[in-house]
Amino acid sequence: MNGLRSIAMAFLMFSCIPMPMIEWKQENMRWMLSAFPLVGAAVGLSLWLWQLLGAALGFGPVLWAAGLTLLPVLVTGGIHMDGYCDVSDALASHAPMEKKRAILKDSHTGAFAIIQLGCWLLMYFALATELPVTGHTALLLALMHILSRVLSGTIALIYPKNDAEGLLRTFTLSAEGKGPLALLLVLLALCAGALVFAGGFVGAGMVLGGVLTALWMKRLSARQFGGMSGDLSGYFLQMAELIMLLCCVIISKVVLL
């Protein structure tokens, strides 16, 4: 039963999908990070439905790419994009570490966050216009959104944290024992294997891009912020998906040469 509560809490926290209200107790949150990839599966389902509609109505590349860009934001409510903006502001400040951490907690949105958000959306949209309107594309993107959340949950548990009282610290402390991390590692192997099986060289490149982004995130979080936080987890997820999409497009074109 606690597993079902953890799934509901993962959707309550990381998506806009209606769920029954669950009491925020430690035992209810134990498997929450392990259930986080299910939100990615929900994003993938929305993209698959968009692909079916696009194939039936003959969507052009612009409308198709707009859906691929906006649907993940709509399903998640932009919660990870919020972290991306906060971290972008902090990094652009070139301030000492403590000042950067204070910027993460500031509810105001700075100019650099808006600039970086615009750049991210433009790049993601441009890459998405290069993808064909096929079920295979929808499958690769669905696995990408699942993998990014598997990686996000994994590094949240194993990387040092910079905040003793933040939400990320609360979630990771609730994931007591080896079970939640072990489950995430199994999901990581399964999702990576599925991407390679479904996408060949393209899928392997996407997996490599996500893993390298996770390794880079350890260095960035430690040097710039003294460890991970909820905002940095959101920043990682958005960067990982952008890098994986870039790998998908570039390697697809190289394979076709």
Q: Does the pLDDT of residue 164 top 60, yes or no?
A: no
62-99 residue pLDDT tens: 999 999 999 999 999 999 999 999 999 999 888 888 88
Closest-CA residue to 248 (of 194, 188, 201): 201
> Which range, 152-166, 174-188, 236-250, is most confident?
236-250
CA distance 133 to 51: 6
Report how far apart, in Å, the C-alpha atoms of 113 and of each of 21, 83, 109, 120, 217 are: 32, 10, 6, 10, 18
DSSP result, 4-67: HHHHHHHHHHH--S--------HHHHTTHHHHHHHHHHHHHHHHHHHHHHHHHHT--HHHHHHH
CA distance 115 to 93: 13
Task: With cut-offs at 50, 70 and 90, classify the pLDDT of residue 19.
Answer: confident
The single-letter DSSP state of residue 235 is H
Report how far apart, in Å, the C-alpha atoms of 74 and of each of 71, 78, 80, 183 are: 5, 7, 11, 27
Contact (CB, 8 A) for 195 and 143? yes
Q: Which position has the higher pLDDT, 28 or 140? A: 140
Split into its structural domains, the chain has a count of 1
Percent of the chain clearing pLDDT 90 (strictly above): 62
Predicted model pTM: 0.94
Q: Which two tokens stand for residue 25?
A: 């107790």
Closest-CA residue to 199 (of 213, 187, 209): 209
Orientation of helix 230-256 relative to helix 201-225, angle to 10° = 150
**Amino acid identity of 1?**
M
Cβ neighbours for 248, distance < 8 A, ≥ 6 positions apart? 127, 131, 140, 144, 199, 202, 205, 206
Q: Write down the pLDDT at residue 210.
A: 97
Closest-CA residue to 53 (of 39, 34, 67): 67
95-123 residue pLDDT tens: 888 888 888 887 777 888 899 999 999 99
Residue 23 sits at φ, ψ, to 5 deg, of -65, 135
Alpha helices in 94-178 (DSSP H): 97-105, 111-128, 135-158, 167-174
Contact (CB, 8 A) for 141 and 44? yes
Domain coverage including residue 233: 2-256
Q: Write down the pLDDT at residue 101.
A: 87
121-141 residue pLDDT tens: 999 999 999 999 999 999 999
Q: Which position has the higher pLDDT, 165 or 102? A: 102
